[in-house]
Structure 1
Amino acid sequence: MKHSTAMALALMALAAPTYAADAIEPETLTVKETIDPGHNVFVMDQAWAGPSSVLVLGADDFAMKGNVGPGTVGQMALNKAGDTLYTSSVYLERYTYGPVTAVVQEWDVSTLKLKQEIEISNKMAQVESQPGLLALVGDEGYLLAQNATPATSISVVDIAKGAQIAEVPIPGCWTATPATSGMKFTSVCGDGTLKTYTFAADGTFSEPASSETIFDVDADALFSNPARMGDKLVYVSFNGNLYVVDDSGAAPVLTETFSITDGTLGGWAPSGSEVIAYHAPSDTMFVLMHSGKYNGSHKNPAEEIWAVNMTSKKVVGRGKAHHENGIAVTQTEEPMLFATGEEGALNKYEITLGDEVSIKMGEEFEGLAKWPTIIALDQ
């Protein structure tokens, strides 16, 4: 049947009159030298079976501006000026065996072009993207990259020299959260303490300065990535307690702890990966939350986003979430809150400040990424 139908169509085509085809105007392809102006949102689309991608969108209109492509299990960090993006990733020659090359890559944001590539220790942790796994420190002259073999350490990279200058052991600890000044960082540890490490330009480093025991790892474990609040760090626990830690001194010091869930029905607790974001102008902490908590539910996608006034220590707003696991907020007077979800979308929430904070879904970029992990903002 298929054969005879094809033969009939061929005969009809031969019998049909011929016409001169209209001339086709060749299309001229061009490449934009720079991305469009305006503030940007950077979303890491992390991949484990191929190259990762950092997607660059306009913060106001959600227009796609471009992307850069690091290697497998990418991490990222954006400088304060928002004009330079750093990524770390690994390149696997055979995937199942053979050599592994770990690199830090420096990208010019305006052109999305590679500026330099620095090979680092191939002990680099191949895990889900987190802010504390690649961070700028020391007036942004150095990068800190998390290692795990599973023994933990931090690779210190001198950006100007284009070389790794040290590997700082951090046994039993995870993440490197930079201090606001100086060449030091703080890590959260499995014994319930926080430890601060310092290093020098020649690659030497000090013994860690440890806090007293701050949290109970069994009864009230912490998410490992804090939010920066001035000269303090704010960690959130699986049970919904906020731990405020002063990291400005030699060793971290716990200054206060309070709950955001006490007296709330429904078994609410924080969940996701990057679960908190601080808006300094309004002194508001935003937290991803889910109901019906149970052992292991700290990984659940969010059902609500809560706003916490850090002065009154009260929840001052609750808004419906859309299955997100990571958030970031701008530091503009009127905040814009961005969130990534397990379904691959990037969402923007409209925040109205006041005695009660309103949190409502604004724009959605559906299907932006396969696995969006962390967000970086340039404002």
Structure 2
Amino acid sequence: MKYSTAMALALMALAAPAVAQEAIEPETLTVKETIDPGHNVFVMDQAWAGPSSVYVVGSDELTMKGNVGPGTVGQMTLNAAGDTLFTSSVYMERYTFGDLTAVVQEWDVQTLKLKREIEVSNKMAQVESQPGLLTFVSGEDYLLAQNATPATSLSLVDLAAGEQIAEIPIPGCWLAIPATEGMKFSTICGDGTLKSFTFEADGTYSEPASSEKIFDVDDDALFSNPTRVGENLVFVSFTGNLYVVDDSGESAVLLDKFSITEGTLGGWAPSGSELIAYHAPSDTAFVLMHSGKYDGSHKNAAEEIWAVNMTSKTVVGRGHAHHENGLAVTQTEAPIIFAASEEGALVKYDVTLGDEVTFEMAGEFEGLAGFPTLIKLDQ
């Protein structure tokens, strides 16, 4: 009975007239020729499980404008005009074994299109992004890219010629710190010194000029990424000392050293990767900090951001952080901080200057990246 009833209903449905449906309007897909206007934040997502990506985010509303895709374990740097992005990365033939190709790639920011690529030494270091692993030197005429096999060296790339013109050995040292002018750079070394090099347009380079011992690698190790304060470099140590170094001469010289944590309760210490940024208009350095320090806690995500007046050498403000490990600050009259968290978010802070510097979280782009490692700003 049930079977015959079901059959009857099915036959009736087939015999019924078809119900008219409105025609579906086909969607027309378009591609923007250029990204939206306005200032940008560039976030490197290294994504070690595959290719890296650089996300371009509007700095006002933290809206996604687009991205470019270099190879695996990418590094990046941005020119002063903010209209050209350079990346370095490797392309693996079989990923787990086989040949690889290392390249520097040049991207047009407005169109996010690849302009050219320059093949460089396949000794390129496949490590977490840091500012000194791909950096301009001599203005923007040359690039230096870090190599590690694990022996360390730097690939010198002539951008006008579009080719690598030298490999400069830097044994026992790491990354390139460009001088403020000239064909010169320094590098930080495992014996507590900085070594400085000069080079020529034909790719020849000098013997290293070594500084006196600047820091103790056992008692007060330095984070390798400094910030430039005026003409000088400022390094942060694991214990909370700031080292002021003059790199303008033949060899680097330690000018000053002072603590930002002495007398502070709670075992506070700096932590992160790109953990210091300097706002020149207010002479203020911003440092990522964590409490309850212990051996190895220099990698911990930030609990607070501290503001340090570089003239008075004092902490002039402390603000709540959101587990960031890197930050950058605009050079606008009122500083704006952009920071990347270990959860993959991009966080924006408005900073109010005064006798006491204060911080206010002004926005967050959650889930932006899997492994955000480096931030660049165009303002």
TM bucket (normalised to shorter chain) is over 0.9
Amino acid across the alignment from 1:282: S
Which position in structure 2 is the counterpart of 1:368? 368
Distance 1:44 1:16, change over 3 A: farther
Which position in structure 1 is the counterpart of 2:79? 79
Amino acid across the alignment from 1:242: L
Aligned residue runs from structure 1 range 160-309, under 5 A: 160-309=160-309
Aligned residue runs from structure 1 range 54-93, under 5 A: 54-93=54-93
Amino acid across the alignment from 2:85: L
Runs of 4+ with >3 A deviation: 6-17
2:37 is the counterpart of 1:37 = yes
Distance 1:271 1:127 in 2: 18
Distance 1:28 1:250, change over 3 A: same
Larger radius of gyration: 2
- Partner-residue secondary structure (3-state), 1:28: coil
Which position in structure 2 is the counterpart of 1:145? 145
Distance 1:9 1:222 in 2: 81
- Partner-residue secondary structure (3-state), 1:374: strand
2:122 is the counterpart of 1:109 = no
Distance 1:246 1:11 in 2: 91
Amino acid across the alignment from 2:199: F
Distance 1:224 1:8, change over 3 A: farther
Give the count of matched residue pairs.
374
Q: CA deviation at 1:370?
A: 0.6
Distance 1:354 1:289 in 2: 21
- Partner-residue secondary structure (3-state), 1:350: strand
Which position in structure 1 is the counterpart of 2:359? 359
Which position in structure 2 is the counterpart of 1:327? 327
Distance 2:8 2:191 in 1: 80
Q: Percent identical across equivalent pairs?
A: 79
Distance 1:12 1:320, change over 3 A: farther
2:157 is the counterpart of 1:157 = yes
Amino acid across the alignment from 1:146: Q
Deviations 1:28-77 (A, max 9, x none): 11111111111110000112221100000111111111000000000000
Deviations 1:277-304 (A, max 9, x none): 0000000000000000000000000000
Q: Which runs of 5+ in 2 are unaligned?
A: 1-5
- Partner-residue secondary structure (3-state), 1:281: helix
Q: CA deviation at 1:21?
A: 1.8
Which position in structure 2 is the counterpart of 1:53? 53
Segment drifting more, 28-37 vs 103-112: 28-37
- Partner-residue secondary structure (3-state), 1:187: strand
Distance 1:14 1:329 in 2: 69
Distance 1:199 1:14 in 2: 84
Distance 1:155 1:317 in 2: 41
- Partner-residue secondary structure (3-state), 2:88: strand
Distance 1:186 1:29, change over 3 A: same
Which position in structure 1 is the counterpart of 2:3? none
Deviations 1:240-263 (A, max 9, x none): 000000111111111000000000
Distance 2:11 2:169 in 1: 78
Amino acid across the alignment from 1:125: A
Q: CA deviation at 1:11?
A: 7.6
Q: CA deviation at 1:18?
A: 2.2
Which position in structure 1 is the counterpart of 2:123? 123
Distance 1:222 1:23, change over 3 A: same
Distance 1:61 1:280 in 2: 24
Distance 1:13 1:33, change over 3 A: farther
Q: Which runs of 5+ in 1 are unaligned?
A: 1-5
Distance 1:378 1:7, change over 3 A: farther
